[in-house]
A and B are shown apart, each in its own frame.
Chain A
Amino acid sequence: MTGNENIAHPEHPMQIRDILSFSTHAATANRGRTLLMLLAMAIAVSSVVVLISLGDSARHYVIDQFATLGTNLLIVLPGRSETTGGPPPLLGETPRDLTLEDAMALTRIRTVRRVSSIIAGSAPVSVGHLERELLVLGSTSELYEIRHLALNQGSFLPPGEPTRAEAVCVIGQKGKKELFGNQPAIGKWLRIGDRRFRVIGVLSPGVSLGEDLGEVVIIPVAAAQALFNRSSLFRVLVESTSSEGMEQTRKAILDTIRVRHEGEDDITVITQDAVLTTFDRIFKALTLSVAGIAAISLVVAGIMIMNVMLVAVSNRRAEIGLLKALGASRRQILGLFLTESTILSSIGAGIGLLLALLGMRLAAFLFPEFPLHLAPWSSTISLGVALITGIIFGVLPARRAADLEPAFALARR
């Protein structure tokens, strides 16, 4: 008998379009009540998206900085890094200085292409009565290639013995502007501390390793040693001949220095790759944990959705009874109310995404020096979050609606 029924009335599911429009209409009919909830959802989603985006921006920023370091680069620092193992240095032991002679010894390693020493410090730089505090880098001609620098005018430090303290300098764009204005600077003299240097080049603006190249003055390393009255190097940058030979080069550097430092392993060698992967890991973990904390606000928003939907179910008892009287099955009611809560959370998530976008724009406007951007998967994340929250917190109210007895739901008004 029921078989005949099925032929007489083939069963069609509701049109998707109808489900969406009916539920949207229902979700938005009671504005005042839903507004607060939308706000909660929006704030939750935007805080998640903003935090993820900030983390992602920071990660990119740092990684870009290190990527501009140059390929096949090894950085030699004085002092042993704690993570390399071995017995801790005895109390009071200070690491041996990393000297210019050490750096020159490294050039004899077969897999080393270039070596550049660095001494850094800040010093007053003046032209006439104009004075600026700038970052002074003592280095060698090889720095130009190793750090992928670019010049606006003139030439870089001349090649030659690093021990020669020629009185020449290369100045950053901003420092040049502040000290010389629009006058040409090439060939002019400036004073760093109590020494005079002739300007032979002006750097192109840019950022490298977190330093604004605009506010840098580069002088020969030997001149910097004299200027700062210090023989120990801040860093030695070593460029390996190939990326495959990095590990071999690293060992060779350690061996060379150990021999020169009476058997002590008192330097640290880091590679760009190692730095990058470490930072990448740290920032990803940081971003995730911060986003996790922000996700708590999603639970709050989800509970608000559940509340709004429970109130809606009890307010619309008669409507639910009616839908059943008109032939809606339990499943249809369940679907309609789940759709409704999902639409609510999606609208909230949409607003949240917009808020996040505006927030990131504002932050980018306030801090133009940082490349801030919305994390690429932000919209996917917020959509996913909205769907999941809407469904999870919509299940209880929707089931309550679906389980209503029609006769009871329709009784009295």
Chain B
Amino acid sequence: MISLQHIERVFQVGDEEVHALRDVSMTAAGGEYIAIMGPSGSGKSSLLNILGLLDRPDSGSYELDGVKVSELDEKEQARIRRHKIGFVFQFFHLVPRLTAFDNIALPLMLAGMKQDERQERVTAALAAFGLANRAQHRPDQLSGGQRQRVAIARATIMQPSVILADEPTGNLDRNAGIEVVEILEELNHQGITLIIVTHDPELGKRARRQILMVDGRIEDDR
């Protein structure tokens, strides 16, 4: 359960104030599938960053699963990110020197899980995402689609309740993009809340709910 109330986010660029988010309020129930759409610069990523606790709003409140997370300190917000939120990015953001296995294991490692326990979970995840024979490959030895699957495996390894994906297909060819979206939709079927930012209308139409952003405001929500 997500609830945003009157979120404002303003960036100072030189003398100018850029209103990335203007009085944004929305709620999302657990297990929803939402596409956030809108033109470039309309505030989609800014909204997702607030939802993912990667950025703090200048005003407004944010409640996640009954916790007023906008009031938590840095350390507690890190805990929420660790346990409740999985991120998928347009540019994958895999650590280039680490293998697929180690990239997927990163959240478990940060959470202090022992190596043998990790082994089991990561091996299962690799198999589930069709990466079993890519475990020891580094990102530069993987295709775009494989990289994004590693990223999704990493995003879900902590069994989060929400997945936030910012243009997850933006860097993939059509087929790989569809494959990735289908994987994300399958995760949504299993009950994870899925919020995808995209400017591809075809992709947006697949979601049960579409939020249209224009100039930092929610223009349409259906």
| Tally of contact residues, B, Cβ under 8 A | 36
A interface majority secondary structure: helix
Interface residues of B (CB under 8 A from A): 45, 49, 52, 54-55, 66-68, 72, 74-76, 78-83, 87, 89, 91, 93, 95, 97-98, 106-107, 109-115, 154, 158
Instruction: Please state if A325 and B81 are interface contacts (CB–CB under 8 Å).
Output: yes
CB of A413 within 8 Å of the partner chain:
yes
User: Do A324 and B81 contact each other (CB < 8 Å), given the known contacts A329-B75, A413-B91?
Assistant: yes
CB A393 to nearest CB in B, in angstroms, measures 23
Instruction: Please state if A326 and B97 are interface contacts (CB–CB under 8 Å).
Output: no
Stretch binding the partner chain, chosen from A4-12, A114-122, A194-202: A4-12
Instruction: Please state if A405 and B112 are interface contacts (CB–CB under 8 Å).
Output: no
| Residues in A neighbouring B87, C-beta threshold 8 A | 325-326
Instruction: Please state if B112 and A15 are interface contacts (CB–CB under 8 Å).
Output: yes
Bitwise, A183-212 to B at CB < 8 A (1) or not (0) is 000000000000000000000000000000
- Given contact pairs A15-B114, A319-B93, enumerate 14 new A-B contacts (beta carbons under 8 Å): A1-B67, A8-B83, A9-B83, A11-B79, A14-B111, A15-B112, A318-B91, A323-B106, A323-B110, A327-B81, A327-B107, A328-B78, A329-B79, A406-B55
| Residues in A neighbouring B115, C-beta threshold 8 A | 15, 17-18
Stretch binding the partner chain, chosen from A22-30, A159-167, A243-251, A293-301: A22-30
A-B contact pairs, 14 of them (CB 8 A): A2-B67, A2-B72, A8-B83, A9-B79, A11-B79, A11-B112, A18-B115, A323-B110, A327-B78, A327-B111, A332-B110, A406-B49, A407-B54, A411-B45
CA of A138 to CA of B11 in the docked complex: distance in angstroms?
Answer: 95
Task: Return the chain A residue nearest B113 by Cβ.
Answer: A12
Instruction: Please state if A15 and B55 are interface contacts (CB–CB under 8 Å).
Output: no
Task: Return the chain B residue nearest A12 by Cβ.
Answer: B112
Instruction: Please state if A319 and B95 are interface contacts (CB–CB under 8 Å).
Output: yes
CA of A318 to CA of B151 in the docked complex: distance in angstroms?
Answer: 14
Instruction: Please state if A405 and B55 are interface contacts (CB–CB under 8 Å).
Output: yes
CA of A324 to CA of B93 in the docked complex: distance in angstroms?
Answer: 12
Instruction: Please state if B112 and A326 are interface contacts (CB–CB under 8 Å).
Output: no
| Residues in A neighbouring B76, C-beta threshold 8 A | 2, 5
Instruction: Please state if A15 and B109 are interface contacts (CB–CB under 8 Å).
Output: yes
Bitwise, A324-338 to B at CB < 8 A (1) or not (0) is 111111111000000
